[in-house]
Chains A and B, each alone.
Chain A
Amino acid sequence: MNTRSIPDRLQSPLERKVKSWESLLMLVAIGIFVANSFASPYFLNAWNLSDATFNFTEKAMIAFAMALLIISGEIDLSVASIIALASTAMGAAVQMGVGTEGLVLIGLATGLVCGAFNGILVTGLGLPSIVVTIGTMSLFRGISFIILGDQAYRGYPPEFAFFGQGYVWWVISFEFVLFAIIAVIYGVVLHMTNFGRAVYAIGNNPTGALFSGIRVGRVKFILFLLTGLMSGIAAICLTSRLGSTRPSIATGWELEIVTMVVLGGVNILGGSGSIPGVVIAAFVMGLVTFGLGLLNVPGIVMSIVIGALLIGVIALPRLWTMWRTR
């Protein structure tokens, strides 16, 4: 597994593009789309497809930040709990009569504070991110449970509903536009800036990156902040869409978001991956969930599919190389 063969000639850029993970994933996406349109007569309908995007837009927003974090060799399992805490904070603010602008600010600020907390523990104290975020995963959601117990917050102002339920033009929802804008921003940051190169460098060799003059700690801290911020944005969209807050909101999303990132071709051990891959993976997961939903498959069975996808997308290429090099 550790031996790496050196090719005797370079692949042409076109060949590399055709054989890339992203194009394979694109084929899968198209395949699922076609299969879905045959499986259910309700699939090919602009409004239904627009509804389907809600299955992944919020998760994908976090997945972009998570992709950068995983490329840099860290992980954040507390994202879903940050959503719960941010949503609870907004719900509490509503009870005090805070307006829509205030709610948005509170949601974003809660996300940033939670991200900063993770970031300080990981980069400031040098703790492994997986344990830290397993801890904060219980802590953040636990605080929501202390505040809310078995109650729920309702009564969000009508204007607040726009973020999760509003449409910009015809069937194009506000959330979808936000998702597209965020995807472009993260794509540019990761693939076209120094910061993006630094993220790859850290993931491939943190010590080497440090010796090349990259502020490893600061970059990782910023990535945790970004993940927190995106969780805050997702919390605003989700709370606005549901119109209520319970402490169990977004349970299990961390798994789906990590799956989305890994399915998108990001190496879970860090160092490689791309934003276009994550975008296509978001569509694949959204289409699978929506298609199965149209066929009346219960949610928990979909989670089997997602779990199998997570293992399958990593196992199959490795099985393939094992079989070829036998």
Chain B
Amino acid sequence: MTKLLASREALLMVAIAILLAIIAWRFPAFVVPSNLLAVFNDTSPLILLAIGQMIVILTKCIDLSVAANLALTGMVVSLINIAVPGLPVIFIVLIAIGFGTLLGMFNGILVWKLAIPPIVVTLGTMTIFRGIIFLLTEGKWVNSHEMSDSFKSVPRTDLLGLPILSWIAIAAVILFTIVMTRTSLGRAFYAAGGNPHAATYAGINVGKTQFWAFTISGAIAGLTGYLWVSRFAVAYVDVAGGFELTVVAACVIGGVSIMGGIGTVFGALLGALFLGIIANALPVVNISPFSQMAISGGAIIIAVVLNAQANRSPGRIILKKAEHAT
């Protein structure tokens, strides 16, 4: 029980509760259920991307190309929608996931087969993906009236009181909680990042595991790309510009260790919600939206300081622990 209370997730839930209480004290309308659901819906893309990013960070990598992947996939499906307006949306969704997966695999191959540091690979692909959007469109926007109605309606359609966008985020949280805690692939992600040497000796191919992490991150980014452009009904080069940092911030705040091996889907969810609540509350409490960047920067730094304190062992007592255990 004490372990549960001391966990990062519990700490973060308390922080979120305090944050909501402060907002509610001044603006009670913000915490009515319907508004909270709207905030959740608005944060759903961030939740999705944070889950993918968390898996990548678990394996000691980082994926800075998620936002560019999202923008490129979003543009590709919008262009397909213009070219073939009658194409059923289910195919659009499959194309988005497939295309995002390919982009993620490209990152993964470079990291796995050529052993290029992930930060270099994804910094590079980040600019390349955005550049490709420009090459595809020559900088033109795809606007609302060019998209078919069915293309635009999916994320907003209500299902049991919640938009489909929210349901997809919930489904992803459940699916990846199961994958991370109940499958050997999930354990491999933790092992590859927690101790790559030990993982190798345990028969886990670390590079291949990292490849799968990038592939999953890419697939999620692709799906989110479709959801993003259809929700906002516009696609252009700078869609979600700089969003990769918000995604990393959500993970770090959610207790995912940048050194790999530590983190949970629930933590990433809470980290994303924390940032989502701040982003939605700022205009309500009359703070300039321009301050959001500084706040998320400050939140990353505070979170990483707290993480480091929490993960620091009080000394080298590994052997003693082992003696007691036997």
Contacts and interface: CB of A to CB of B under 8 A. Distances in A.
Interface stretch (A133-141, A193-201, A278-286): A133-141
B258 A130 contact: yes
B19 interface: no
Contact of B115 (A1, A132, A135, A139): A1
A322 B308 CA distance: 38
B308 A311 contact: no
B110 interface: yes
A6 interface: no
A259 B125 CA distance: 12
A1 B304 CA distance: 32
Nearest to A252: B127
Contact of B252 (A131, A137, A306, A307): A131
Interface string A118-160: 0001000111101110111111111101100110000000000
B220 interface: no
B120 A146 contact: no
Contacts of B259: 128
B8 interface: no
Contact of B131 (A141, A258, A301): A301
A268 B114 CA distance: 14
A298 B134 CA distance: 9
B135 interface: yes
Given A134-B300, A258-B123, A146 B290 contact: yes
B249 interface: yes
Contacts of A135: 249, 252, 297-298, 300-301, 304
Contacts of A1: 115
A262 interface: yes
B115, B290, B291, B301: residue with the most chain A Cβ atoms closer than 10 Å: B301
Nearest to B252: A131
Nearest to A141: B293
B296 interface: yes
B132 interface: yes
B121 interface: yes
A318 interface: yes
B288 interface: yes
B125 A311 contact: yes
A262 B120 CA distance: 9
B301 A139 contact: yes
A269 interface: yes
Contacts of A136: 297, 301
Interface in B281-316: 288, 290-298, 300-301, 304-305, 308
B114 A318 contact: yes
Given A269-B117, A311-B110, A301 B123 contact: no
A136 B296 CA distance: 10
A39 B287 CA distance: 52
Given A131-B252, A132-B304, A307 B294 contact: no
Contacts of B245: 134, 137-138
B152 interface: no
B249 to A, nearest CB: 7
B171 interface: no
Given A146-B288, A307-B123, A310-B124, A138 B293 contact: yes
Contacts of A303: 127, 130-131
B303 to A, nearest CB: 8
A128 B292 CA distance: 23
B8 to A, nearest CB: 15
CB-CB nearest 5 A-B residue pairs: A142-B294, A138-B297, A139-B297, A304-B131, A142-B293
